[in-house]
Structure 1
Amino acid sequence: MFRGSPIRSSSLARTLIGVGVALAALTLLVLPAGAQPKSDKLQWSARLEGEDVRAGESGRVLVTVVPKEGWHVYAMNQPEGPVSTSFQLDGGPSVEPAGSPVEPEPQRKFDRGFKMEIGYHEGPTTFAVPFRVKPDASGSVRLVVRATAQACDATSCDIPTTEELTVDLKLAAGAARPERATPSQEAPPQPQGHVQPQPTTPQQGAAEDVDSTTRKIEEARGKGLLAYLWLSFVAGLLALLTPCVWPMIPVTVSFFSKKTEEGAQKNLKMALAYCLGIMGTFTALGLIVTLAFGAAGLQRFAASPWVNLALAALFVVLALNLFGVYEIVVPSWMLNKAQAGSQRSGIAGPIFMGLAFSITSFTCTVPFVGTILVAATKGNLWDPILGMLAFSLAFAIPFFLLALFPQYLASMPRSGTWLTAVKAYMGFLELAAALKFLQSAEIVVQLGWLTRPVFLAVWFAIFVIAGLYLLGWLRLPHGGEPKIGPARRLFGVANLGVAVYLLAAIEGAPLGGLSGFMPPERYPYRADSPKGASQQAGAIRWIENYEQGLALARQKRRALFINFTGYTCTNCRVMEGEVFPKPEVARRINEFIPVELFTDNGTPENNRNAELRERLTKASTNPTYVILAPDGKVLKVFQGLALSDAEFVRFLDEGKREADAWFARQKG
């Protein structure tokens, strides 16, 4: 109940309230069934939701309570203290309950008497009580619903009462329809006069006040175009530190190593085409997908199993080419379309490689890109185009140098033998990268095959074979082998050492940045997959449903820590595998209500999670971390990969201080 009691001592008040509630419940138990107390503060009614219910189908009884003006009833499933509104269904031998009753979103307020946040309903309120008719039922069935509630106003509470309501169900003829096998979990429509709760979304742009990425972008825009372009360029340089770009390093070197014989001028032209391909496709593809499918469309595109299967196939094809299994020849029809007989026909390949680079980098698009793409969905195209171009220019410069690297390697003494070994070894790295994209496709379609131990075992085999090749114990079909020098032998031994460490990683050895390429340690769809760090004492106890987490936060009076993640998100794996397990991080996260929400596989639940992320943070990227008050107010936001453990610990500490201040204001 609300503040209205003259009692000053909070402990005495809670004791008296608890005794009162216990006595009221005891009274309900000892009264005979025909002598249940009635309340003149509540009026009840019941009806069926729809009339066409057949044997073997489900349905719902809609129960409406109308409190007297100025009075309210408590919401369902309240913590110890208030008398929760509850329902019991009795349908005889033909009908059985089919899940928990459903209520509309209640209003919430901190109650000083109970010393907790409580939920309540004002005005006429309709609840839904689900049921299922047994397949052998027929004729008419009488449903009995017993509704228990307590009416309270600002200063006092009536005794809890139970009302018995009856509804007659006449079963319709016909076979059961599969779509009606389970009842709806949606809140029922509310009658006129029902008091809706206050919005729980952030007010007055809360996300902009706490998200440093958005704030920096707005500040740069305010200083002028050059400041905005410089910020975009620097963000691109920082993005090079993320694991998403690593698979393209061997691809770039190996692709251009095939072109060393075509002359310096031609190689320079192709390197420029490669960079223009990166900039053009990164900007155009990002904007087109975002405008067509919304701010989260880009990540759904990058998470598509078909896109990831195509990338895995591309990497395998390139690897086999580098091993000398065959020679890749561009089809004549493609050359004719590019420009028949022209020297510019060779530009098509580098531009295609730039497209592949853009798609792979979208798997962990950094916060800067996600924030400006949200602006594109609101009609502001000019700023996102310029920002994406400057960002992708910084992305492209190092790969321009990598594209030229094979040319300079070829000018060194005995370059032919060096280059042969380099190209073959790059093939092994491309096979390892192909497995990453294959795993991204596999996890989205929910096969549950490539768990982390399986993935590590395959990588172990790849690096063992690579080490044996470098030591000269394994030959490839690309021609004569060079003499094995000490440097190559040392590198071969190093690869065997990597393979041994991968075996140790199966047993829990840390992987560092390589975690970004691995499947999640808590592998979805496989209840029997090893949990590793999640089994240890002090591990984070994740809740995987937003509403459930919010309800628990209100009950326990804690703020939420929401981890917006993705199945194919590389930076998410790094954070979850290398940062979250640290004791100083896990302990701080467990001080909140930890909620983990996947956003990228296109299911209705994932789409709702993605919409929630955009509503709370005004951004569309993973990973995003939000500290949220129980009323839905955003307290703190962190986007992207933390550059250090200390940076993320600082974010958690600041969020905890914000949460403590929010709870203090609720008490005041």
Structure 2
Amino acid sequence: MKKGVLLFFFVLLFSGLTAQAQGPKVVHPVKWKSKIEKKSADQYLLTMDAVIEDGWHVYSQFTDENGSLPMIVEFINKKGNFEAIGKTSETKPEQKYSDIFGVTESFWHHKFQLKQLVKVTNPGLDLVQVKIDYQVCQESCIQEISNFEFNVKTLTSKEVVKFSSVTTSAAAVLDETAVSVSDTAKTDAVDKVQAGGNTDTAVNNTEAPKENKEEPKDPWTIFLGTLLAGILVTFTPCVFPMIPMTVSFFLKQNSSKSKGRFNAVFYGICIVAIYILLSVPFHIFEGISENVFADISTNVYLNLFFFAIFVTFAISFFGAFEITMPNSLASKADNASNSGGLIGVFFMALTLIIVSFSCTGPALGLVFGTVLSSEGGAILLTVGLTGFGLGLAMPFMVFALFPNLMGNLPKSGGWLNTVKVVFGFIELALAFKFLSNADLVEQWHILEREVFIAIWIGIFLTLTFYLFGKFSTPHDSPVPFISVGRMLLGVLSLCFTIYLIPGLWGAPLKVISGFPPPLNYSESPFGFGGSGGTGAADGKVELPANAEYIVHGIVAFHDYDKGLAYAKSVNKPILIDFTGHACVNCRKMEEYVWSDPAVLSILKNDVVLISLYCDSRKKLPENEVFTSKSGREITTVGEKWSDFEVERYASNARPYYVLVNPADEAKLNEPVAYTPDVEEYKTWLTSGIANFKK
């Protein structure tokens, strides 16, 4: 008996070691459960519930298409059989701005649900077939396809393609034969998660991977930023002169100073309350449509509208014209302020907001534009407007409580208009972010990275000349000398302008990451001048047939067979780069690891790079469509290379790097996935090349 137990544990240990020795295998981090409900004589509700393993996230149908690839829900046998009523609804996703792609992305952690109402038009129909094509990411990304069949006769459903492997950690994935999950176990896992259970034990009992958490947007960052914006707009010609006048009015109007101070503080509270009320409609909009803010961030027309508004406000700040509220509205508010009491104080606050709109409007537009086009939602908009209102109201309240401080206020003068003009330049620069969003969504390629950076260089260089007194705007006072503060601000603007210039040659410009278009959205992979700022000694090389230049001027093939033939002809090892157009960590590797001079020299001179885009949705020619060993029909270029990666290297990760010998296509060392450490990646490259030379 004891020998049998020892033998059992020996076999179990050997199986585990064997599984680990075999290296990374295919992972399927999403487990599905589906059901069908009859709603009427010919209408059925299809529900698909998904559980995502810890550390992974799945992208929504409505995520920005210029970032990670959106989920696609496709009805295979729809024609002549049934109609899909409306769009497929989904659980509200999380949202986060991607610095790599420059867009807001929508995704889920842990679990999500899809629902679709269909109307059957063919009485003889048995099955409704649904295909879900989606991207699931951790440190690597995987393009997954799940197929479902819903039987309208028996009201049963099933996932057509079943998988048996599960992942146990981010670094090592068990062999498909080492651990398996039955259909019942998958169902139990989904049920447990939906009931609020622990997914770590629901999906498997092994150690869960560490989650590569995406930082949520911090409300305090929004609050402090808008608070500062509110304080800054008080130093404009429309607001600053009102501070001593308003405070003096409250303190002198009442015989009791304490009552005057109370009214002044209440005046400030009313300013904050009015700005908060501006956010209320957006809470209603969000209640009607959960994706309203995501729609705003990606809507071409709204981004163009914000661009036009920001440019208009900027021109107004430069002194071309004044943007004001209707005089009748200001007069009514001013008349109401004479009613006295707290109601009168409220209307005084409203009057200030109306009459100062020509100065506060552009800053307020900035708050609306940046928050509405981000992942914050109505809550963050309320936070932003609260900060802005408090910043605007704070000087009135502080000087009412401490009137002696007013003696330290600088006198009104021409410097107020200078502040306004500086705001105009900043407003103009930010306007192009919205134009860039529209350009990226529509892929017009009008405002590519170099053009965007060139525009910013022009704006901030002009601002530098203005601050140094080289020209003036219509409402500027004569400047006999440059003040110290203005000179220092001019130096800061000049330094920022110089910092932007290398961006024309492909520098990442991390300080403004997320504002310009991504590095891959440019006129040339080399930037102006042809070298892309790569630092490689050899510069460009002659382009082989069927190859093209990619990031940093690296030569790459996008077809395995053509790249293999070229590698054989030049007798160089092959670096297969399983990548994706919408793979965040692929871009990080290209920007931060491949740009290293030593790594770049290897990629340009010592290997033949074959970059295979596993998320490409370009259709294969009819004669190239095939069925994979798993029974899946391969119809796109991305599916072809993804299947190639699975069949050849038993992996579906992205990025995934394999060094092979072109003579026999054997691996030169163990493949690696996302490797952000430059030295580690360089060591991996050099070890594989050394093995090739042996």
TM-score (norm 1): 0.41
Identify the structure with the greater helix proportion: 1
